[in-house]
Chains A and B, each alone.
Chain A
């Protein structure tokens, strides 16, 4: 199973690729909407991209809606990894 740091790196890599973002801007405190410029359509595609990368299902809408920052996203995925045992695909 990948480490938490590996997961964070993979999240940054995935979203940088998907949304053509500068990885340097994707600091833990960066907010997805205001700082990184994503919107509601991007949020849908973010889930698709992360599910593909980690082989996990992000079906908990409430947890997803609570995500504001990159760190929120890291924490959610780390939690899910513990439950679902996500694997890189």
Chain B
């Protein structure tokens, strides 16, 4: 079986900057912080982190019809709007979407936590389900985003929902890449989504991994900084259109980049702790599949969420694989940790870096932790020859994933 090349022909984003790829890119290049104080979370006993990077309010009634919205929590709304944007940029028409040649791989950490809250608010006090609306389950189910995207866009190919928390959309992109590479699908809408909710931040808070810089929201999170104190959760969705290279060329699509390697390694060491050997393993697997040497990697877009252990382990892993000269930054300082959306939103930023030939620094990285400075932590927006990029994403549960993204020669 011959293997197909896999290129990216469209992007869509809902992010803490608002709707659209342009808002995301403009915000990142302007170094604009999106993290805000969440004083209303102060009512929740035991929650110490009152910070988040939520998606600004969207005019959803104008953007989506009621019969679509009725089965969507916020995360599925984000995914559907991002998917529409990606499909529009890639210029995939309705017939092609319905042909069975186009599939979907969109993941999230869980189903919509706000829908869970609605359901259990009714269910738990009296163990009653009467009065619960018919659409609730479809917001809660683990494949809510994928299912709603397929329905809203009339997609009849394969439907997948990789669910691996913070690595969900990295795995979704990796899965789409494999399906196209193997010839099962001609194109895939790949990415992920998540929404801000205190229970999600609470998960990190319980394990002492959530930032508590409540009085200075814009200064957090601080990936690789000596004063970093944890994750700030964000919301949104990123969707990429992955496409068979030959098919994309045949229809004259604009090619934004190419996926040439995917590493996906389980560490089996600890359910919560990062493991630098497994991180390095994921990067090495992706590079080996891509046929790329360390010297050819021009930049690493790190997972780095601003936790004490995670950033350190990743910096060391990158140093092990690429050496001390590796140029590294993280997008988490800009948009927080958008969990299931992170890899896809960050890949969109990477594609813009490839287009502009500029690397963007980590927002809030003021005083690099000497222990993290085993790689070249970028300090400012700088012109670079960017041809080959590693995109890392890791998740609780021992998930370590990496993509190699290559600039398309013009």
Evaluate contact between B134 and A41: CB separation under 8 angstroms: yes
Evaluate contact between B135 and A45: CB separation under 8 angstroms: yes
Chain A binding surface, main DSSP class: helix
Evaluate contact between A48 and B66: CB separation under 8 angstroms: no
The answer to whether B383 has its CB under 8 Å from any CB of chain A is: no
Interface residues on B, range: 10 to 19
CB distance from A32 to the nearest CB of B (A): 14
Evaluate contact between B66 and A19: CB separation under 8 angstroms: yes
- B132 (CB) vs chain A CBs: closest residue: A48
CB distance from B61 to the nearest CB of A (A): 8
The answer to whether A1 has its CB under 8 Å from any CB of chain B is: no
Evaluate contact between A37 and B133: CB separation under 8 angstroms: no
Evaluate contact between B131 and A41: CB separation under 8 angstroms: no
- A57 (CB) vs chain B CBs: closest residue: B130
Within 8 A of B (CB), among A1-36: 19-20
Evaluate contact between B131 and A45: CB separation under 8 angstroms: no
Within 8 A of B (CB), among A35-89: 37, 39, 41-42, 44-45, 48, 51-52
- B69 (CB) vs chain A CBs: closest residue: A20
* Residue numbers in B under 8 Å from A44 (CB-CB): 133-134
Evaluate contact between A45 and B133: CB separation under 8 angstroms: yes
CB distance from A35 to the nearest CB of B (A): 15
Evaluate contact between B131 and A52: CB separation under 8 angstroms: yes
A78 to B132, CA, bound (A): 25
**Binary CB contact string for chain B from 61 to 77 against chain A (1 if under 8 A, 0 otherwise):** 10000110011000000
Within 8 A of A (CB), among B67-114: 67, 70-71
**A residues within 8 Å of B by Cβ?**
19-20, 37, 39, 41-42, 44-45, 48, 51-52
A-B contact pairs, 7 of them (CB 8 A): A20-B66, A41-B70, A41-B135, A42-B67, A45-B70, A45-B135, A48-B131
**B residues within 8 Å of A by Cβ?**
61, 66-67, 70-71, 130-135
Closest 6 CB pairs of A and B: A44-B134, A41-B134, A20-B66, A45-B133, A45-B134, A48-B131
